[in-house]
Amino acid sequence: MTRQQEKATFAGGCFWCMVKPFDQWDGVISVQSGYTGGQTKNPSYEEVKTGTTGHFEAVQITYEPEIISYQQILDVYWPQIDPTDDGGQYMDRGPQYRTAIFYHDNKQKQLAEASKKKLIDSGRFQAKIVTSVLPADVFYPAESYHQDFYKKQKEAYKQERIQSGRDAFIEKYWH
């Protein structure tokens, strides 16, 4: 029997750091790094990193909703990011590193907007929450060397998280 599969797409800065937090949950089939939201067709990393393609670095998660819900995935997403930074994430600056939730249907849109409102209402952050909730667009998988970076380049991944300030921010604001 084939189980139902759905997609969830998020931008949270450097996509290398956004794979592992989702990859370790039961019901998550795959987490793919890529580009979405821009006007350039089939963009390369070199093009996206210029900040001129309109694309976000993003991850697309394929999951089984009977095992892990979209709400649970949203609950994993928010503590990975600084939702108040509209200039990028941590040391990664530029429009390609902005945060966004890309919804694939009206239910995802409603849940994403409700989760954003809950975060705003929580008062956790004094600054405005700037993470966008946008309709899903074409998702272009990143080059193979970007896929599963945390598994393939363990030391480089670890250094990226520390040097970027991501882990320090998460510890300060989310724990």
Question: Which residues have a catalytic role annotated?
Answer: 14
The candidate with the shortest Cα–Cα distance to 133, out of 110, 153, 150, is 110
Task: In whole angstroms, give the CA distance from residue 79 to residue 118.
Answer: 13
Q: Which residues, 6 or more positions from 28, have their beta carbon under 8 angstroms from its beta carbon?
A: 22, 61, 62, 63, 68
- Strands, DSSP E only, in the chain? 6-12, 28-36, 56-63, 88-89, 92-93, 99-103, 132-135, 139-141
CB 112 within 8 A of CB 101: yes
Task: In whole angstroms, give the CA distance from residue 165 to residue 175.
Answer: 15
Count, residues in the chain: 175
Q: Which two tokens stand for residue 114?
A: 């409700």
